[in-house]
Amino acid sequence: MNPAPLHTPSPRKRWLWLAVALAALLLLVLAVFLRQPAQSAEATLPADEVGPKPSMTITVARPSSDNLAMTLQANGNISAWQEASVGAEVNGLRLSLVNVNVGDVVRKGQVLAVFANETTHAESLQSRASLMQAEASYENAKADAERARSIQDTGALSASQIAQYQTQEKVAHAQWEAAKAALGATQVRLDNTRVLAPDDGIISARAATVGAVVGAGQELFRLVRQGRMEWRGEVTPSEVGRIKLGQKVQVTAATGVQIAGTVRAIAPTADPQTRNILVFVDLPRHGDLKAGTFAKGSFALGESTALTVPTQSIVVRDGTTFVFVIDAQNKASQRKVTTGRRVGERVEVLTGLKADETVAVQGAGFLNEADLVKVTQ
């Protein structure tokens, strides 16, 4: 029996296997070539660049000791320094003219309103006529009394007749004086038909209406005397001892405008409801000051030394205030602090920070505990 013939691959399969082998060899060579530059580059890195990389670049600063103003904050209301009530001084007359309205600036003696004066003018004429009549009677009685006195030594008139003439003179004189007083009262009533401003100021309220018949004493206008306003700040009994007469106060009105005032008076008693004490602060005239509006005040109490850091160093998270202290290894450490006064771009640090420590400034809000940073100037 003849042996079976050996199987030989076809030429096509041989070429296929050869191509696969060449491709594998090529991939191996390429992998070795790409790895060598990476290894050589890693070998050439400086020793100080091997290790953890900084998370970010920041600037740092040290706390400084500054003199900051000490202030006492308080709330209160703007009020009129003094208000004058301008009322009617005549009774039962009709208002014929009203010259001013709320907000008008008036001068002392300016005519604010006028009452119809026909009746009062007629009464004045009648009183004047009565005065003239009383004056004539007095002159006649005076002449009779003078003649009686001149002949009393001659015996032509009895003593009783002379006394009668003298009595008539006195009665006539009294009637004349009464007529003068009546005319004066009528003239005052006539003058009171013109309502005058009692002082310089600003009209803050008006109840006068043309055609209304008002009674004596009824208020027609309210006047802010001299246009002056004051701030009435409320402070606690424990704070009032730090406030002195003449002390400067910075008042911030509801419009945001800031006005410098001066402490004029301190109330001797506390409010029975709030237990606070009112401090009266004189303010200069200003168009933004409106009586009855709310305002804040800051009392200047001098200066004190404080440890301050830049505002950017302060980080607030979950209602707590922090700074990030940077150590010698450029590692950030979160530190809880208590802040105080703020002046410009500086914030006072009361607790939690030492004067010789370094804090992150620019970029502090992005740091976390134990972050490695790169410091730049």
Over residues 303-314, the pLDDT tens digits come to 888 999 999 999
Q: Minimal CA–CA distance to 84: which of 219, 214, 194, 223?
A: 223
Rounded to the nearest 5°, which phi and psi values hold at 363?
95, 0
Tokens of 160: 């009783």
- 323 phi and psi angles, rounded to 5 deg: -130, 160
Which pLDDT belongs to residue 188? 86
Q: What does the pLDDT read at residue 277?
A: 95
Mean pLDDT across the chain: 86
- Least confident stretch, 28-32, 272-276, 306-310: 28-32
Ramachandran class of 38: left when φ > 0, alpha when ψ lies in -120 to 50, beta otherwise: alpha
d(CA 298, CA 252): 8
Contacts of 280 (CB under 8 A, 6+ apart): 230, 231, 232, 263, 264, 265, 266, 267
Q: Which amino acid does the sequence have at 136? A: A
The predicted pLDDT at position 148 comes to: 80
Q: Which of 307, 320, 312, 316 is nearest to 345 (CA)?
A: 312
> Helix (H, G, I), strand (E, B), or coil: what is residue 27?
helix
Output the pLDDT for position 43. 43
Pick the CATH number of 117-192 from 1.20.1510, 3.40.50, 1.10.287, 3.40.1350: 1.10.287
Query: Which percentage of the chain shows pLDDT scores above 90?
Result: 49
The total of other beta-carbon atoms located within 10 Å of residue 332's CB is 24
Question: Can you give the length of the chain in residues?
Answer: 377
Least confident of 19-23, 334-338, 354-358: 19-23
Structural fold of domain 84-115+194-226: OB fold (Dihydrolipoamide Acetyltransferase, E2P) (2.40.50)
Q: Directed axis angle between helix 159-191 and helix 118-150, to 10°?
A: 160
Same fold, 73-81+227-300 and 117-192: no
Q: Which CATH class is domain 73-81+227-300?
A: mainly beta
Residue 31 has a pLDDT of: 64
Q: Which residues contact 193 (CB under 8 A, 6 or more apart)?
A: 90, 93, 114, 115, 116, 117, 120
Residue 45 clears pLDDT 60, i.e. is over it: no
Domain ranges of the chain: 56-72+305-376, 73-81+227-300, 84-115+194-226, 117-192
Q: Is the pLDDT of residue 178 over 80?
A: yes
Residue 9, pLDDT score: 53
pLDDT category of residue 7 using cuts at 50, 70 and 90? very low
Residue 130 has pLDDT above 60, yes or no: yes
Torsion of CA 263, 268, 271, 272, to 10 degrees: 170
- Phi, then psi, of 167 in degrees rounded to 5: -65, -40
DSSP readout, 187-240?
Answer: HHHHHTTEEE-SSSEEEEEE---TT-EE-TT-EEEEEEETT-EEEEEEE-HHHH
- The burial class, CB within 10 Å (0-12 / 13-18 / 19+), for 58 is buried
Average pLDDT over residues 336-345: 90
| Over residues 107-130, mean pLDDT | 90
**pTM across the whole model:** 0.59
Cα 232 to Cα 80: distance, rounded to the nearest angstrom? 10
Over 70: is that where the pLDDT of 41 sits?
A: no
- Cα–Cα distance measured from residue 57 to residue 73, given in angstroms and rounded to the nearest whole number: 39
Structure tokens at 323: 């700074």
Mean pLDDT of 234-254: 92
Class of domain 56-72+305-376: mainly beta
Distance between start and end Cα atoms, the chain: 99
Residue identified by tokens 């199987």 is 7
The rounded distance, in Å, linking the Cα atoms of 100 and 98 is 6
pLDDT at 33: 59
